[in-house]
Structure 1
């Protein structure tokens, strides 16, 4: 199998007549020369851009070490590429990173790491299969009905009627990206602002003069590594809390971890805050089940 980089570099030009995904907006009936569209709002969408070819590739990217957050640990990331081509010959690729643990921790806990990623990749493939032969005027026409179909499919293949919506949304990142890039090519757009529909332009009109990068402090970042981050110029710490275990075990681990972090950072000044101290941003990823428990963590803080 070609790697993700090889797929991007050499595959796009050759994919015009190649696709292993079939189906899409036109369903073949039992009678010759007759087609029947499936009963879904996705397939009722009509526009001047028609998707004729789709394809999918992915690469398993191993992490240097397990990455801990949301009560678990990741050892790899699946990087996904979705390919779309229109009947005009324009094509686009969309990139996305899968995170099963982030999107649905139950799927992560009840599946192998590879198995959970395979479920999500199957949703992406299903989405591309649905899009083949669809036509649209704007990606906004397709996103909601496509999501509804993919979310329903995800509940079935994962055998989980309580599947979180974010699982389907994560699976659609690369597809959504490809749709917007294909739309931009079809419309001759080269500026991101031109892509924003008129009704949303005022919402996205603010332009920031400066940005601050935040290092992500996962469960297993050592004090030495943390201090090195600050010495490199970082001043806003995003600290992952909500460690593995019961709620009480989690709380005690998080309190101990915060003390460890604060002992390293408390005397380090920064010119970027009013009080000259490094700010902490706590990211629990929904692990704290009650406000009372979280208040106890904040009291320790």
Structure 2
């Protein structure tokens, strides 16, 4: 089944406009998810909207949005009032500025989307915008409205098309100083740093997402498979952890274990070759 677009509208660079659709570039739909059920009946639990004070169930048509002013009072905001302040960017991603990608702090990144031409018309205009962004090597900053909220979106060239990344506003990003100011300044010895660097060298490689394994998701699937077959479920023994007292000793042991792990695959490969030759 073809993916469903989250948003449809127009991408505009000055007077060049093309119809586009936004598709999420990532998905968690393949992850195991659970429903809450009644343990006694096995039926799924249904939530009911009730008045917090009276406990009475409320019909959907009687529910409106409210902004909390203090502990006991709210400002009622109607649907019409929200529609009256609807933004022009509701149906157009209007490019405002071009900036170097390196200047966008990772803290501002929210989620990526693919921007794709919508329909047969507009491919030429899409190509103009796409190739222009690609040629500049920069990122285009624009605005887009998703679920009634305006977001800043950073649009950049990717493969044959465009990728847009939603960005946070400054008020959504916490100041690192609020968390790091109390960290003590510790001066490490050269020997400690050298040992730590050796460990890094042992573990260095290239970024390959295919090597990532979601161990928890794997364990969930195994658990579900066992329960469906009626197999016994045994508790997993968790490794014991202890506080590190001697840092130098811990670094040396880490280096030794890394060396053994690196040699182990080589030994297995050699043994396999000998068996094949025999």
TM-score, structure 1 length as denominator? 0.23
TM-score, structure 2 length as denominator? 0.24
Q: Larger Cα Rg: Structure 1 or Structure 2?
A: 2
Structure number having the greater helix percentage: 1
